[in-house]
Structure 1
Amino acid sequence: MWHAPCVKWHYDYVGPAEIRGQVRVGVRGAAITSSGDLEAWLGGLPSGEREEPCTFVIELDGTLMLASRHSEHVACAAGEPVLSAGEVAFVREGGRWLVSEVSNQSTGCCPDVTSWPAVESALERAGLGHPGTFTHPMVFRRCTACHQRNIVKDDFYVCAVCEAPLPRAWNVNQPDEPV
């Protein structure tokens, strides 16, 4: 039996309420538990979308879920908390599906880079090769002064909105708050 990897926490949706309001009950991304699932899902996409990265979430049970890149992470997860979220691209090499790029880029869930073990575990269980880490890691922090979500770039922990210092530890665990 599979057990969830040791992760610090799960990630709730923290983005705008109007986006959460668009989630349809019972509608979620496609579960990918094997390379056959991935092949079938990719085959069902319009040809122009097959080469694009797609939206992914890792559900609390460790299942990799995929949706079109034009989908919101909260919709892919049917509004439920996740172990990780981001974007992923696949390439077929030597008859095997591999992850060519993977990030934790989800401004709706803002997962920490420490969520990688959940992604790695889901990819390995599905038999999908991967790069061993996020190829495009994103560092998210919430400003404690103005409550805005920020992406930290170049190790510059300063709010892009109010210029207050940002915490070094991940803290994006509250829904958007009115400012």
Structure 2
Amino acid sequence: MRPGVMGAPVTSSADIDRLEPDDEPFTYVVDLAGTLRLAPRRTEHVACAAGSPVLAAGEITFERVRGEWRATEVSNQSTGYCPDPACWPDVAGALDRAGLARPDGFTAAFVFRRCPGCGELNVVKDEYYVCVFCDGGLTGT
């Protein structure tokens, strides 16, 4: 699988074997049907989803435990879709349907806001809702 192609659907642990995982996380999306799709990390999320809307997006790492793949780290880090941390149930549902063990929530969650003043995308850190580019205020929701 090469970067920049639509993500491969994952419906079981065997699907991950076919993707030849290594120590690097995958780019993932959960499509509107609730299916987890994986692509190499250097793939943009929008490419992984073939330009379609998604329920969730981010990065995910798998580890083999007793012969089965398990999601060990999951984030919502996607500047293409800027998913809210509230999308976790969609990620959890996709992993559960694929029979993949998972954490109880995002292991790293990001809050994204676009500045109404300058239009730049910001990652909100420590609940500090101020644009790093122009010092303008960012909305809290």
Number of the residue aligned with 2:60: 88
User: Is 2:137 the partner of 1:165?
Assistant: yes
Q: Deviations over 1:74-124 (max 9, x none)?
A: 110000010000000000112221111110000111000001110000000
Q: CA RMSD in A?
A: 1.1
User: Is 2:16 the partner of 1:32?
Assistant: no
1:1-179 equivalences under 5 Å are 28-42=6-20, 50-169=22-141
2:103 and 2:37 map into 1 onto residues whose CA distance is 19
Kindly provide the amino acid, as one letter, of the partner of residue 64 in structure 2. R
Number of residue pairs matched by the alignment: 138
2:137 and 2:44 map into 1 onto residues whose CA distance is 29
More strand by share: 2
Q: Once superposed, which parts of structure 1, at least 4 consecutive aligned residues long, lie more than 3 Å away?
A: none
In structure 1, runs of 5+ residues without a counterpart are 1-22, 170-179
Q: Which has the higher contact order (CA 8 A, sep 6+)?
A: 1
> Scaled by the length of structure 1, what TM-score is found?
0.75
In structure 2, runs of 5+ residues without a counterpart are none
Q: Secondary structure at the match of 1:119?
A: helix
2:16 and 2:90 map into 1 onto residues whose CA distance is 18
